[in-house]
Amino acid sequence: MNERAARGALRWLAPALTVVLVAVFARSVDWATAWSAISHADAMLLLVATAANLASLAVKGIRWWLFLDAAGVPGVAPAIRATVVGAALNNVLIANGGDAARIALVARRRNVSSARVLATLALDRLGDAVSYAGLFVAAAFVLPLPAELARWRLAGSIGLTLLVLSAAALIWRGDDTRPEDTLEPVAAGAGVGTRARAYWRRLVATSTSIASGPRMAMALALSFVGWAGQWATFHYAARSAAFPISGTESLLALLTVNASFLIRMTPGNVGVFQLLYALAAGSMGLDKNRAVAVAFLIQMIQYIPVTLVGLLLAPSLARRDVRTDPVAPTASPTAGPKPP
């Protein structure tokens, strides 16, 4: 087997093993009990959970807009629409393919470099990761964690420290200049290596230029608001099925399940989501079969409305804006005419 074939085999190995693991887990579920819990769910509480989920997506869009606006891509409504469309595509793609799609859609619509949009999304995700690690570490030292989660206290603390240091380094290097003002344009006909290096420089320059302390602090605050919305989604979906889970236990289930969303092994993480939720609930002494039903209810809430809304919003993002977004620095209004 040549090197290229080996890389291809490894790329499919993890998803294949994940599918096998989910299939083994599915055989141990009492599906009659699970379906009974789903079919008798309280519609009003499901509606509350759905509203909380959509609200948390809107908050994520606003958080991303903070960085997009600083990078010269204004408009909070397009940022929210792109976030919803990206979430909808993540429901049907693996490996967070929806994020790549929303970068391409926003860059095309606003006629800007995809490196600039990618930099804003990277900072947005950094804030999300810091808030998740902060919640995990706080829960690890304050709440009575199951043994399966308690063993990750040290790793979570180290991860949080590294993330905070990364954010601090970006803020320390940051300034308020537009990155395009200081970068040389790539010559026509430049090679792939030259274009790749220029893309990386533009990505780094944009990241450092917009990573200010107040902006990162605001993004972090919005991240916690978004997590609160997800917490409400999990808890009210569980309560709709009369699942005897406390608010604290819902938070622990949320933290456990979302560790799998770093890389989606299946479209929408279907199967993996149910497996981790059931394992988290089982470690807290709750019924595994009813936990599977709750996990399906949560995914229905996260999948069906978001996918439908995302499909409705996608055409508006596919249209390119008529105006362009100039990146060249403007002349000072007090400057005199240039000499001939």
pLDDT, tens digit, 9 for 90 and up, residues 211-248: 888 999 999 999 999 999 999 999 999 999 889 999 98
Does residue 121 lie in a domain region?
yes
| Mean pLDDT (whole number) for 112-127 | 90
Report how many domains make up the chain: 1
Residue 120 lies in a domain: yes
**95-107 mean pLDDT:** 82
Per-residue confidence (pLDDT) for residue 102, from 0 to 100: 87
Stronger pLDDT, 173 or 80, i.e. the higher one: 80
* Higher pLDDT among residues 329 and 138, named by residue: 138
Q: What is the mean pLDDT of residues 64-72?
A: 93
Note whether residue 64 is domain-resident.
Answer: yes
Highest-confidence segment of 93-102, 279-288, 315-324: 279-288
**All residues at 6 or more sequence positions from 116 whose CB lies less than 8 Å from its CB, including other chains:** 71, 72, 73, 107, 179, 202, 203, 206
Is 151 within a domain?
A: yes
Domain membership of residue 203 (yes or no) is yes
| Lowest mean pLDDT segment, chosen from 65-74, 101-110, 165-174, 212-221 | 165-174
Separation of alpha carbons 299 and 234, rounded Å: 10
d(CA 154, CA 320): 47
Average pLDDT over all residues of the chain: 77
Asked whether residue 333 is domain-assigned, the answer is no
pLDDT band at 280 (very low <50, low <70, confident <90, very high): confident
Averaged over 66-93, what is the pLDDT? 88
Supply the range of the domain harboring residue 94.
17-318
> Is 329 part of any domain?
no
d(CA 140, CA 110): 43
Query: Would you say residue 327 lies in a domain?
Result: no
